[in-house]
Chains A and B, each alone.
Chain A
């Protein structure tokens, strides 16, 4: 057989194998992408549910009674003390 024929046949067969390999790899990659896409969608969906749950748990109507039970309240007049620069502030137990 003519060398050109042989090399062309070899090239064609090699290309076929190469293509098959590429196609197989592509399919595998596609499957991986699809799986990761599904995982991402699932994660996104889980995040949405968790966000909604967190917002539900943090709703002011639930937090406010809990805060008030702890003795917390909005700051009122006279609660804020202004310090004069250089003044010493004593902390700790007030002795009577």
Chain B
């Protein structure tokens, strides 16, 4: 056997078989026990190896299977990847400052067709166009006849009942896919702010677009709404409703072509409400394209008229050259080139700076601006942010339209709000800085984004700000004030009226005006600013045939404040009774 050492396995086996046979034939295996044991051991060794190798293979196979199971993705995902991908996106909810829902995603069925499986195209097109009247039967027939396509959307975002009706028709080749669609449960409320989404549930305007750009949206395969933190706005649902309700009433009452308004926190710039009527339905993105439904709060600029005197008087008082009781001769009209500027209701006597504000004297405002000089006037408006473009989370604000130079004419006209056109939200932010103690604010619609009040840049002194508060309050509280119809007992309202003629063909139109009222309350420590704009109001019996802001915008602001002040936690304290 020693000779077999070093041979191959086959040779070993052959040798072993021969030995065994020989042993049996000789009948003497027992005669050589040690030799048989040696043989068995020699034979058992490669057999054991074989078994071990076999078992090893089995273990390897088992391990391989385990690895395969662990590494293989779930079958349903594999299947879904081979299907046409739905492009729907899951969006976060939008809530107001108190967490009340403004927009959310809900599942809705979308109808699609596989033309290859459609039987009887004419019949299907006919019956489908009856169920969905907005679909044209001819177009439908053409679409369904295209056998080269296997997937065609027919109608996305169907109401569940309509989807059930179509399902009940039992038409072959048609099926539904559940998608996420944006729902606005408050209907048209805050339509301009919220914006809209496109057919794939991606933001196409307003806050919805900002969400796409900042928070982000997630591709949704299927129709499961997104879970996670909602986007919280600074808007207060109750204040927004009140503002829209009063603006709607004002639009009817004064037969106006449009109205707009906003409510802002003067300390932080947070917007509590903003509305522009005619409004838009966020569920119908096409409405925003209608020019009459333009967002007048930040989508356009206007010459705002005499409410601009707030800026002019603040500039003059803060400059230190005049005080509220400084007398100015306003008896003579101002001339600038070929223009003559005079007061509508001239008092015929010199006025103090306070009276210039309270009587809304154009001549007085012009003189104050001329006294400060063009550089100072320009620098002051720049410091208030009235000369640079602005942007909010709703979108870009229409850029201010400024005079090409600040000559004598421009200085005078800008002092009373003509020759300069700004978006109402930009004007409101600039005025908030004059009433909150003198520091700038940036308008914002997203909660938690406003910097702390002390972070603002100082533009006027706290004393000047207080003096402006007094003037605004006097304009509402005093008998001769132009804003007295805005007064709400107990809520210490202050404000300034503005009635600006609108530019048209061949100059300004006397009959077409923008009536505005800028109000703030409570004036002992101003917290909220309300700006009301009424576009092209008519003189009615209510207004004694006048279109002046004191007759329409001021009372509208008063009505708004009477309703929103309690909602905002302002306590009426004018005539509080004491019980003892």
* Neighbour of A52 across the interface among B62, B183, B490, CB < 8 A: B183
Interface size class of B (residues with CB under 8 A): 35 or more
In the complex, the answer to whether A78 meets B576 with C-beta atoms within 8 Å is yes
A45–B223 touching, CB < 8 Å:
yes
B window 202-229: CB within 8 A of A: 222-225, 227
User: How many Å lie between the Cα of A9 and that of B50 in the bound state?
Assistant: 13
A68-96: contact bitstring with B at CB < 8 Å (1 yes, 0 no)? 00000011111111111001010000000
> What residues of chain B lie closer than 8 Å to A89, measured between beta carbons?
579
Instruction: Report if B97 contacts A (CB, 8 A).
Output: no
Report how far A89 CA is from B62 CA in the complex, Å: 86
Give min CB distance, B75 to chain A, whole Å: 10
A80 touches B572 (CB 8 A): yes
User: Chain A contact residues: over half helix, strand or loop, or mixed?
Assistant: helix
Whether the Cβ atoms of A59 and B187 lie closer than 8 Å is yes
CB within 8 Å of A: which B1-59 residues: 44, 48, 51-52, 55, 58-59
Residue of A nearest to B105 (CB): A48
Please determine whether A79 and B572 come into contact, CB atoms closer than 8 angstroms: yes
B511 within 8 A of A: no
How distant is the Cα of A4 from the Cα of B62 in the complex, in angstroms?
20
- Give Cα distance in the complex from A74 to B571, angstroms: 11
The dominant DSSP class at the B interface is mixed
Q: Which residues of B contact A32 (CB under 8 A)?
A: none
A53 within 8 A of B: yes
Question: Does B107 interact with chain A (Cβ within 8 Å)?
Answer: yes
Interface string of A50-75 (1 = CB under 8 A from B): 01111110111100100000000011
List the B side residues contacting A49 at CB < 8 Å: 106-107
* Contact flag A48-B490 (CB < 8 Å), given A59-B187, A74-B567, A87-B579: no
Alpha-carbon separation in the docked complex, A15 to B80 (Å):
34
Question: Which of B76, B106, B490 makes the CB contact (< 8 A) with A78?
Answer: B490
In the complex, which of the residues A15, A16, A30, A55 contacts B185, with contact meaning CB atoms closer than 8 Å?
A: A55
Contacts of B563 in A (CB 8 A): 74
Minimum CB distance partner of A37 in chain B: B224
Q: Which residues of A contact B578 (CB under 8 A)?
A: 81-82, 84
Evaluate contact between B62 and A78: CB separation under 8 angstroms: no
Inter-chain contact B58/A77, CB cutoff 8 Å: no
| Given known A-B contacts A2-B44, A74-B566, A80 and B100 have beta carbons under 8 A apart | no
A2: B residues at CB distance < 8 A:
44, 48, 51
Contact partner of A44 (CB less than 8 A), chosen from B74, B227, B575, is B227
Interchain CA distance A44-B241 in the complex, whole Å? 29
Contact residues in A for B76 (Cβ distance below 8 Å) = 34
Residue of A with least CB distance to B237? A60
Q: How far is the CA of A51 from the CA of B580 in the complex (A)?
A: 48
Q: Which residues of B contact A78 (CB under 8 A)?
A: 489-490, 572, 574-577
For the complex, give the distance between the alpha carbons of A59 and B579 in Å.
Answer: 38
Distance to closest chain A CB from B263 (angstroms):
15
B308-326 residues with Cβ-Cβ distance < 8 A to A are none
Residue in contact with B224 in the complex, picked from A23, A44, A61, A80, CB distance below 8 Å: A44
A52 touching B106 by the CB < 8 A rule?
A: yes
CA distance A53 to B160 in the complex (A): 15
**Mask of B179-209 contacts with A, CB within 8 angstroms, 1/0:** 0000101110100000000000000000000
Extra inter-chain contacts (9) besides given A59-B241, A82-B577, CB under 8 Å: A8-B52, A51-B104, A61-B187, A64-B245, A74-B565, A77-B488, A77-B572, A82-B579, A84-B580
- Interface residue ranges, B against A (CB under 8 Å): 44, 48, 51-52, 55, 58-59, 62, 65-66, 69, 74, 76, 93, 100-102, 104-107, 183, 185-187, 189, 222-225, 227, 237-238, 241-242, 245, 488-491, 562-563, 565-567, 571-580
A–B pairs, 10, beta carbons within 8 Å: A12-B55, A26-B69, A44-B225, A52-B101, A53-B185, A74-B565, A78-B574, A78-B575, A81-B576, A83-B579
